[in-house]
């Protein structure tokens, strides 16, 4: 695999760890002193918060994010990656959309006559950009700084 593809794989693992609220998987993607910077708005970004340290970032993923509802899940998708690799340093800039997926509860009597296919809804709930700086340490790419710029207003603890 190319270094650019390796960098893209780190972000793919990041969105899956986020969707799963998996603190261990998230922490493993960051350098020990890694940082997440969260902003709102594209033209005049407003800082919402900073998470410092791989363990803190993982704990925030598992404990600060809203839990999934019953029969619910989130799906992060990333689009149009711009990746630059220079030796053991790399950057990736992608657009993202988060979808909330909630399945309907099957009635005790079963699905109504004529019901076919997926039963529930998929709705976009979040969009923005991820811009990450990564470093390769002992052959493994790790996120040093991950900047999240959200397109929609967000309620964020302490902001």
Model confidence at 140: pLDDT above 90: yes
pLDDT band at 158 (very low <50, low <70, confident <90, very high): low
**For the chain, which domains are there?**
3-97+127-150 (3.10.450.50)
Cβ neighbours for 11, distance < 8 A, ≥ 6 positions apart: 78, 81, 92, 94, 130, 132
User: If you search the block for the tokens 């992608």, which residue do you land on?
Assistant: 94
Task: Say if CB 146 and CB 35 are below 8 A apart.
Answer: yes
Q: What is the pLDDT of residues 60-82, one digit of tens each?
A: 988 777 777 788 888 999 999 99
Model confidence at 153: pLDDT above 80: no
Q: Which helix (H) or strand (E) holds 120?
A: strand 120-137
- pTM to 2 decimal places: 0.88
Q: What is the pLDDT of residues 22-62, one digit of tens each?
A: 999 999 999 999 999 999 988 888 889 999 999 999 999 88
């Amino acid at each position: 695999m190319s270094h650019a593809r390796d960098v893209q794989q780190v972000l793919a693992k990041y969105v899956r760890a986020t969707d799963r609220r998996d603190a261990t998987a998230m922490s493993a993607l960051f350098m020990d002193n890694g940082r997440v910077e969260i902003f709102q708005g594209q033209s005049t970004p407003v800082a919402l918060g900073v998470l410092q340290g791989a363990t803190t970032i993982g704990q925030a993923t598992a404990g600060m994010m809203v839990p999934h509802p019953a029969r619910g899940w989130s799906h992060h998708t990333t689009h149009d990656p711009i990746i630059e690799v220079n030796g053991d340093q790399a950057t990736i800039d992608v657009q993202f959309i988060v979808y909330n997926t909630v399945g309907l509860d099957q009635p005790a009597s079963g699905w109504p006559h004529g019901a076919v296919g997926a039963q529930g809804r998929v709705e976009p709930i979040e969009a923005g950009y991820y811009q990450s700086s990564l470093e390769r340490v002992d052959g493994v790419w790790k996120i040093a700084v991950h900047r999240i710029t959200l397109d929609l207003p967000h309620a964020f603890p302490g902001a």
